[in-house]
Chain A
Amino acid sequence: MSLWTRIANVFRADRLSSEIDEELESHLAEAIEQGRDPAEARRAFGATLRTREECRDFRMLGWLDSLRKDSIFGWRQLKKRKVTSAVAVLSLGLAIGACTSAFRLIDALLLRPLPVASPEQLYAVAREKDGITGDSWAYPAFLQMRAAVKGDAELLAVSDALPLDVTFRSDEEMEKATVQYVSGWMFGSFGLHPAAGRLLTGEDDVTPGAHPYAVLSFDYWSRRFGRDPHVVGRSFHMGEQIYEIVGVGPEPFTGTETGAVTDIFLPATMHAGAVHDDWTWHRTLARVRPGAAMEPLRAKLDATSRAFEEERSKGFTGMSREAIRQFLDLRVILTPAAAGASGLQQNYRTALIAIGVLVAMVLLIACANVANLMTAQAASRAREMALRVSIGAGRGRLLQLVLVESAWLAFLSAGLGATLSWWSAPFVVSRISRPGNPVRLAMPADWRVLAFGIGLALAVTLLFGLAPALRASKVNPASALRGAGGPHSRRRLMHGLIAVQVAFCFLVLFMAGLFATTFDHLSNRPMGFSAERVLTLDTVAQRAQPQVYWDQVAEHLRAMPGVETVALAGWALLADGGWNGFVSVNGAPPGPDFGYFMKVSPGWIDAMKVSLIEGRDFRPDDATPGAAIVNETFVRQFLHGERAVGTAIAKGELAFRIVGVVRDLPYRNLREAILPVIYVPFRSDEPTRQGTFVVRTASANPLALASMLRREVPRARPEFRVSTVRSEAELVNGQTIRERLVAMLALFFAAVALLLAGIGLYGVLDYSVLQRRREIGIRMAVGAQAGDIARRVTADVFGMVLAGAAAGLALGIAFARYVAALLYQVKPTDVAMLALPAVLLLAGALIAALPAVIHAVRIDPGTMLRQAE
């Protein structure tokens, strides 16, 4: 027999006992049969019960058996108090579920290493100035840096994963695929093996434009082609280029951009920007040789990058030396990128961590509640505990008894929490997807999540169970059995927990207030344009098309029913497009600041309802270069408020004359300060391959026209295809997704926190009234007034509430610094921001205190004093 049978015997303890009993009985029967006197035989045998226990102890694991007994007992205790147990499990379950979801998201986005060989060797290379980090690089600069650090690190160029238009068969069947340009040698460096065909190599990534080869991701191969092995060797169009599919990547690898799943990998040299030293379009990852020193590596990259930019700045005609020096003043930094690198990470890192902290607070509040519940219950069970001690139970055993009960609560809650996070983590992911750019995060329920869940449940058990268990095990049998006992120390513990709860609750309310105000400010900020009823049609052609064709399509769309106006723009406003450059005014050398450009057609101002405050809109014959319209910020920043119309400006070779000034409107996102923008005519001598039709419709729901307009574009000119249709309102909402989500979650958890803290306060007050009912009875008998009683009952608890609120305030102000990046036009130290949670908290506390106070003043001194304890 072995440990295993001793474990197994624990679960057949009753049968084991009866077997031993039977054996002992048969012994006695045998003795009597042999002629011994039954009474004498029994006496000689001694205590059969003790013998049985001793035998049993050899046959099974004693501690496991006591654990089993305690868990059965604990389960019965929980069932006895169904309502309180249910409330405890629900509140803990909600909090644990929220924490687990937060962990799953943080893990998936920030911690989980990429499925490549030695991911810990990966670093992201970025440039930093005054705390602002930029991680886009120009390919020629990348090549120089790669050569400079050869031997110490392998550099990899990886672009964003972009939804682009690809065509596998005829032009009619253009579809979206997520494309990532990567260095050909990336696959080998990552130690990846193809699932079919071959992967790209360094030789596929040498000469710009000369390697039309593509590798599909396993995910895309399965989804789009049903894992058809014959897909290798097929080709597809993208823009004017034809690519040949050479292979399929391994199953777990979905690209280096966490949050997006790449469909097609292309060699970096196939990107149009690969030959331009002023196009920054890709990230740079460094795979550092193990043991290589980081600082010399960083310095080498820094020097190379600076030399490249210095060389490039020699081409900046007429710029002042000071301006160039400011432009060059960037520092290269290396940050660990084992979990990949993506904009989603940058965007959501702080937000996720902030939400994680909030839900941890809610969990602590829930724990404090349950701890108070257990403490109050331990009080009513003091006699039971005393009895157990006096018949020989050790302190350890009592500790175990109470802790096992806590563990029941914790594991039931963890089960509920797991169910909750199963649903809620993917829900959050679905909420952060932007139109046309879905977020896909791998969140398998694997050992990482399991370990986190079990660890959390254990931690929670100790958090709320240990203090009451220690207290219960310290019971003094003599005084407890007599009915005395000091409730004061117990009350001190409960009051302390109330203060902690209030502090955390204040913090959660305060943060929620900040996030909600941020969202409110952001969504109600003056836009400068009207997104309502506007539909945007991103349109592409196989080859660049002359302006007359674009105009023909616009003309055709204008004639459609339900269409009010149609204009053309380089891209839809707030849809990630951007184009910047140095601007010279009146022939003077350009300064260090960028001007931001956008191509629009005549009528765009009107279609977007942007107000023209000076000058005129473009005319049909205005072209780039030629006329320009600027915004107010441009006038302020570049012209110092001087008269704008008629001023000559230039971007390099392109010369413009300002013909109008429009009101400020956002350029690429709603959070940043208004940028100086120069609108230039869409029309130019060069043919254009892509543009966006901006259609103001007559119907309140512009998307109703989407499919009709999508069909009409190629009907007007067969060269054109609509790749994406979005309403401008969608794009505006897409800008505030993070703020909306953070505000929504924070408000939800603030409500939960307030509710839980209220329940906790109510429970503690009610308990203390119950404890002090004799004292209250006596006070009333000798003439205390109701007000006096109410004050006595609530005084110390309200002291605790105030102390907790003060601590929460300090915590809140300290914590707000870490989330400053998430806030928009909100100051954490605003009186209103601090007063709101305080008022809410006090109101909540008053409501929670009311039932206990009513209970206290309704105590009838006569009955109470007659009633024996």
Chain B
Amino acid sequence: MPKSDSLQGSLDLLVLKILSRRTRLHGYAIMTTIKDWSGEVLHAEEGSLYPALHRMEEAGWIKAQWIVKDSGRRARIYELTAAGKKQLETEESRWEAVTSAVNRVLGTV
């Protein structure tokens, strides 16, 4: 099972992407979505996910809000902000650039 290290700095990108598709997710849902959508290859650890969420919230890319779930428990759900959408575009194009560069390197050998 790959460790969170395998995310290689792509955690922000994944979280932003997921929140752009599905809004109002709490932390656990984001974690499971990463797992599901990556075909159980990528796994975000709680110890990395939550600090990242708070960092992105602080940066203004996502915003959080408390809701009361049907079970009566409170949950903190996240959604993308306008700044977050812009950030997603930047991150995506950067990711494209990096992967294609890496692929080029792999292809030449």
- A-to-B contact residues, CB < 8 Å: 1-2, 5-6, 19-20, 22-24, 26-27, 29-31, 33-34, 44-47, 50-51, 54-59
Q: Which of B13-21, B46-54, B85-93 contacts A (4 or more CB under 8 A)?
A: B46-54
> Closest CB of chain A to B54's CB: distance in Å?
4
- A33–B29 CA distance with the chains assembled, in angstroms: 12
**Could you tell me if A45 and B47 are in contact, using CB atoms closer than 8 angstroms?**
yes
Contact B46 A44 (CB under 8 A): yes
A-B contacts, 15 listed (Cβ < 8 Å): A1-B57, A1-B60, A26-B26, A26-B28, A26-B75, A27-B27, A34-B32, A44-B46, A46-B45, A47-B47, A50-B47, A51-B50, A54-B51, A58-B57, A59-B58
Beyond A22-B74, A22-B76, 8 extra complex contacts between A and B, CB < 8 Å:
A6-B58, A19-B76, A20-B50, A26-B73, A51-B46, A56-B54, A57-B51, A58-B58
> Does B55 make an interface contact (CB < 8 A)?
yes
B108 at the interface (CB under 8 A from A): no
- Chain B residues touching A, majority SS: helix
With a CB–CB cut-off of 8 A, which chain A residues contact B71?
A: 33
Q: A23-B76, A51-B46 are in contact. Are A1 and B58 (CB under 8 A)?
A: yes
Against A, the Cβ 8 Å flags (1 = close, 0 = not) of B73-107 are: 11110000000000000000000000000000000
A44 to B47, CA, bound (A): 9
Q: How far is the CB of B93 from chain A (nearest CB, A)?
A: 25
Residue of B27, B46, B74 with most chain A CB atoms under a 10 A cut-off: B46
A26 pairs with B76, CB closer than 8 A? yes
Q: Which residues of the partner chain B approach A51 to less than 8 Å between Cβ atoms?
A: 46-47, 50-51
How near does chain B come to A740, taking the closest CB pair, in angstroms?
A: 64
Complex Cα distance, B43 from A482, in Å, reads 47
Chain A residue numbers with a CB within 8 Å of B26 are 26-27, 30
Contact call B50/A24, Cβ cutoff below 8 A:
yes
A44 to chain B minimum Cβ distance, whole angstroms, is: 7
Cβ of B28 and Cβ of A20 under 8 Å apart?
A: no
Residues of chain B at interface, number, CB under 8 A: 22
- Top 7 A-B pairs, shortest CB-CB distance: A54-B51, A30-B28, A55-B54, A58-B55, A58-B54, A23-B76, A46-B47
Rounded to whole angstroms, the CA-CA distance of A54 and B73 in the bound complex is 24
Residue of A nearest to B76 (CB): A23
On whether the beta carbons of A26 and B60 are closer than 8 Å, the reply is no
Give the distance to chain A from B49, nearest Cβ to Cβ, in Å.
9
Q: Which of A27, A29, A34 has the most CB of B within 10 A?
A: A27
Could you tell me the distance between the alpha carbons of A30 and B73 in the complex, rounded to whole angstroms?
10
> By the criterion CB–CB under 8 Å, are B75 and A55 in contact?
no
**Chain A contacts of B59 at CB under 8 A?**
1
Can you list, as one digit per residue, whether each of B23-39 has a CB less than 8 Å from chain A (1) or not (0)? 00011110010000000
Q: How far is the CA of A44 from the CA of B51 in the complex (A)?
A: 16
Q: A-B contact count, CB below 8 Å?
A: 69
On chain B, the residues within 8 Å of A56 by CB distance are: 54
Please give, as numbers and ranges, the residues of chain B lying within 8 Å of A34 by CB-CB distance.
28, 32
Q: Which residue of A lies closest to B31 (CB)?
A: A27
Checking B29, B45, B50, B73 against A55 with a beta-carbon cut-off of 8 angstroms, the contacting residue is B50
**Known interface pairs A1-B60, A59-B58. Does A30 touch B47 (Cβ–Cβ under 8 Å)?**
no
Q: Is the CB of A58 within 8 A of B51?
A: yes
Residues of B within 8 A of A47 (CB): 47
Smallest CB gap from B52: residue in A: A58
A50 to chain B, nearest CB (A): 7
Rounded to whole angstroms, the CA-CA distance of A31 and B26 in the bound complex is: 12
Chain A contact residues, majority secondary structure: helix
Q: How far is the CA of A417 from the CA of B82 in the complex (A)?
A: 52
B44 nearest CB across to chain A (Å): 12
Contacts of A6 in B (CB 8 A): 58
Q: Is A46 a contact partner of B76 (Cβ separation < 8 A)? A: no
Distance (Å) between the CB of B16 and the closest chain A CB? 16
B98: min CB distance to chain A, Å: 25
Residues of A contacting B53 in the complex (Cβ-Cβ under 8 angstroms): 55
B29, B50, B59: which has the most chain A beta carbons within 10 Å? B50
- The answer to whether A27 and B54 have CB atoms under 8 Å apart is no
A29 to B75, CA, bound (A): 10
Cα distance A5–B29 when bound, in Å? 27
B8 to chain A, nearest CB (A): 19
- With a cutoff of 8 Å between Cβ atoms, the chain A residues found around residue B74 in the complex are 22, 26
In the complex, chain B residues whose CB is within 8 Å of the CB of A22: 74, 76
A18 to B53, CA, bound (A): 16
A5 to B55, CA, bound (A): 13
Question: Smallest distance from the beta carbon of B58 to chain A beta carbons, Å?
Answer: 5
Q: Is the CB of B73 within 8 A of A29?
A: yes
CB distance from B15 to the nearest CB of A (A): 14
What's the Cα separation between A27 and B78 when bound, in Å?
13
Which residues in B have their C-beta under 8 angstroms from that of A2? 60
- CB A294 to nearest CB in B, in angstroms, measures 59
Q: How far is the CA of A280 from the CA of B33 in the complex (A)?
A: 97
- For A50, the chain B residues whose CB sits under 8 A away are 47
Bound-complex Cα distance A1 to B50 (A): 17
Residues of chain B lying within 8 A (CB to CB) of residue A26: 26, 28, 73-76
CA of A757 to CA of B69, assembled, Å: 69
> With the chains together, A45 CA to B75 CA distance in Å?
17
Among B28, B50, B58, B75, contact of A31 (Cβ-Cβ < 8 Å)? B28
Contacts of A55 in B (CB 8 A): 50-51, 53-54
**Known contacts A27-B27, A30-B26; is A59 also within 8 Å of B46 by CB?**
no
A370 to B64, CA, bound (A): 49
Asked, given contacts A29-B73, A33-B71, whether A20 binds B54 with beta carbons under 8 Å apart, the answer is yes
Among B32, B46, B73, contact of A45 (Cβ-Cβ < 8 Å)? B46
Chain A's nearest CB lies how many Å from the CB of B64?
9
How far, in whole Å, are A55 and B52 apart by their CA atoms in the complex? 8
CB of A559 to closest CB in B, whole Å? 94
Complexed CA–CA distance, A22 and B75 (Å)? 8
Q: Which chain A residues lie closer than 8 Å to B47 at the CB level?
A: 45-47, 50-51, 54
Instruction: Establish whether residues A23 and B50, one from each chain, have CB atoms under 8 Å apart when the complex forms.
Output: yes
Q: Which residue of A lies closest to B59 (CB)?
A: A1
A739 to B74, CA, bound (A): 77
In whole angstroms, what is the CA distance A30 to B55 when docked? 22
Contact A27 B46 (CB under 8 A): yes
Residues of B within 8 A of A29 (CB): 73
Docked pose: A51 CA to B29 CA in angstroms: 18
CB distance from B48 to the nearest CB of A (A): 9
- Closest-CB distance, B61 to chain A (whole angstroms): 10
Q: Are B46 and A30 in contact (CB under 8 A)?
A: no
CB-based nearest B residue for A22: B74
List, in ascending order, chain A residues with CB within 8 A of B54's CB: 20, 54-56, 58-59
Bound complex: CA A810 to CA B68 (Å)? 78
Cβ of B62 to closest chain A Cβ, rounded Å: 10
B28 neighbours in A (Cβ, 8 Å): 26-27, 30-31, 34
Distance from A10 Cβ to chain B, minimum over Cβ atoms (Å): 13
CB neighbours of B60 from chain A (8 A)? 1-2
Q: Whole-angstrom distance from the CB of A21 to the nearest CB of chain B? A: 11
| Interfacial chain B residues near A1, Cβ < 8 Å | 57-60
A20 to B73, CA, bound (A): 15
Q: How far is the CB of B108 from chain A (nearest CB, A)?
A: 40
What CA separation (Å) do A33 and B76 show in the bound complex? 16
Chain B residues with CB under 8 A of A44: 45-46
Chain B, residue nearest A41 (CB): B46
Q: In whole angstroms, what is the CA distance A6 to B46 when docked?
A: 23
Q: Quick one: closest B residue to A57, CB to CB?
A: B51
In chain A, what residue has the closest Cβ to B43? A44
Bound CA span A6–B58, Å: 8
A23 to B26 alpha-carbon distance, docked (Å)? 9
A318: min CB distance to chain B, Å = 95
CB distance from A855 to the nearest CB of B (A): 56
